[in-house]
Copies of this chain bind each other. A is one copy, B any other.
């Protein structure tokens, strides 16, 4: 990504301000405010506003549990306790608003998370810019041969070159024709809301996206996961780094209990107990399907 001089100037103007507030302030988040974190070739994520910090999570929990939280001596321990026991409402008391620029096919996955507020750039009203996502050569992956939704090895040589050539040429041609159709020089000009249908799914759009911390963690668990598509995962990872600076205790608990954790079924727990008791358990004696057993082996480090 290269921000335009106008965008860079706008960010600097936003960061030049500053005023007094009585609200909770997260110093780690103030350092991020308005700055554009580059993602993919033309995309970015930047924090526009936030509400709350680690202390705000604890404050809300203490309203709920009253004296019940007195026994937990510090904020970090309380936050770990809340995360471990799925007490999600205190995490909902923090809120964050991002400005995101992203390809449309990523936006289509992203929007499936419904518990968020969105204002997207409208191609009914306005004209989209000529910016398309073209994968870097090292992300030009083949279809997986074992998994319908996965990626396999990276494409090589002539095949890779051909794909890049097609993606670039089609995107540019589609945009040329978009411009030609809406042009009002010497013709009426097609309605924008119709002309946009000619543009491919790798064109960039942008939106403001606002979400509470509990639902953001849910989004991150799914989208920063290694099974998520690379092009949305890099956005999730950029957000992870921001959240780690915003609410360090909550983010550390999220990493331990969610990102780094795993859910085991009743069958898996039964196998585990037998294994710890010295029994040699096999897929056949586990009661699990082959796929489940393979995943279970991965979780306990025998994959």
Q: Identify the closest chain B residue to A177 (Cβ).
A: B166
Residues of A within 8 A of B (CB): 14-15, 17-25, 30, 33-34, 48-52, 56, 59-61, 63-68, 71, 77, 80-81, 84, 86, 89-90, 92-93, 95, 97, 99, 103-105, 108, 111-112, 114-115, 117-122, 124-127, 133, 135, 140-144, 148-153, 155-156, 159, 163, 166-167, 170-171, 173-174, 177, 180-182, 184, 187-194, 196-202, 206-208, 210, 212, 222, 229, 255-257, 259-269, 272-273, 275-276, 289, 291-292, 295, 299-302
Is the pair A198, B264 in contact by a Cβ cutoff of 8 Å?
Answer: no
CA distance A151 to B192 in the complex (A): 9
Is the pair B265, A264 in contact by a Cβ cutoff of 8 Å?
Answer: no
Residues of B within 8 A of A119 (CB): 60-61, 63-64, 89-90, 93
CA distance A111 to B140 in the complex (A): 29
The interface residues of chain A, by DSSP majority, are classed as mixed
Q: Identify the closest chain B residue to A83 (Cβ).
A: B265
Is the pair A65, B206 in contact by a Cβ cutoff of 8 Å?
Answer: no
CB-defined A-B contacts under 8 Å, sample of 9: A19-B20, A50-B51, A63-B120, A65-B125, A65-B126, A84-B292, A93-B117, A140-B194, A261-B266
The one of B48, B86, B118, B159 that contacts A188, using a Cβ cutoff of 8 Å: B159
Nearest Cβ in chain B — how far from A139, in angstroms? Answer: 8
